[in-house]
A and B are shown apart, each in its own frame.
Chain A
Amino acid sequence: GENVEQHPSTLSVQEGDSAVIKCTYSDSASNYFPWYKQELGKRPQLIIDIRSNVGEKKDQRIAVTLNKTAKHFSLHITETQPEDSAVYFCAATPGGDNAGNMLTFGGGTRLMVKP
């Protein structure tokens, strides 16, 4: 099945700096890559996603890039703010029949933004 690796597991940045989180996946047929933010005690919330027919997507301070050849995708957060502090999960859906809705998550990155 699909395997998603995520790095780093923890990331500490100063407010205003950029943060980058990287993920690799194993199934070359995977076609959908969402990123979720989970604050302590809260539900995972989608912050951005990208599909395999697109190389980059941006939404204000957040951007995601996808390299299908290398099978990796990255989350970029610019001008970080203390409220960006949370655990971020990348995920991928493997290709194949009946597999389009099976999200496999990376291990998570704890982002801490210091004021």
Chain B
Amino acid sequence: DTEVTQTPKHLVMGMTNKKSLKCEQHMGHRAMYWYKQKAKKPPELMFVYSYEKLSINESVPSRFSPECPNSSLLNLHLHALQPEDSALYLCASSQDGTSDTQYFGPGTRLTVL
């Protein structure tokens, strides 16, 4: 398996909802990432997990909560989001997180009403 998969593909949620995004890879990669991408903009790094430990948090609001249950899975828990959080959320993985190639998942298109 040489792909990063993400579920769901689309998500619509209200500002009071709690939802989770899921990312999975079976390439044996030990680094996983969450990015946020607004329309016509580049991806912006949110979190980095390296060997299942959170290594980078780019000052992301606490309404976004990442979790790495094991080396193949990465979750992003969402709570009390704002309409401006609507975006494409991309997951990526890489071999070990040291200037190595990152492979992206297809993303989850999130709409916050």
Contact = CB atoms under 8 A, between A and B. Distances in A.
Interface of A: 31-32, 34, 36, 42-46, 49, 51, 89, 93, 98, 100-108
B15 interface: no
A105 B44 CA distance: 8
Nearest to A32: B99
A24 to B, nearest CB: 15
Interface of B: 31, 33, 40-45, 48, 50, 55-56, 90, 94, 97-107
Given A102-B48, A102-B56, A105-B42, A46 B101 contact: yes
Contacts of B90: 43-44
B106 A42 contact: yes
A101 B99 contact: yes
A31 B99 contact: yes
B108 to A, nearest CB: 11
Nearest to A4: B42
B46 to A, nearest CB: 11
A102 B106 contact: no
Nearest to A44: B104
25 contacts: A31-B99, A32-B100, A34-B101, A34-B102, A36-B104, A43-B90, A43-B104, A43-B105, A44-B90, A46-B102, A49-B101, A98-B55, A98-B56, A100-B99, A100-B100, A101-B48, A101-B94, A101-B97, A101-B98, A102-B45, A103-B102, A107-B41, A107-B42, A108-B41, A108-B42
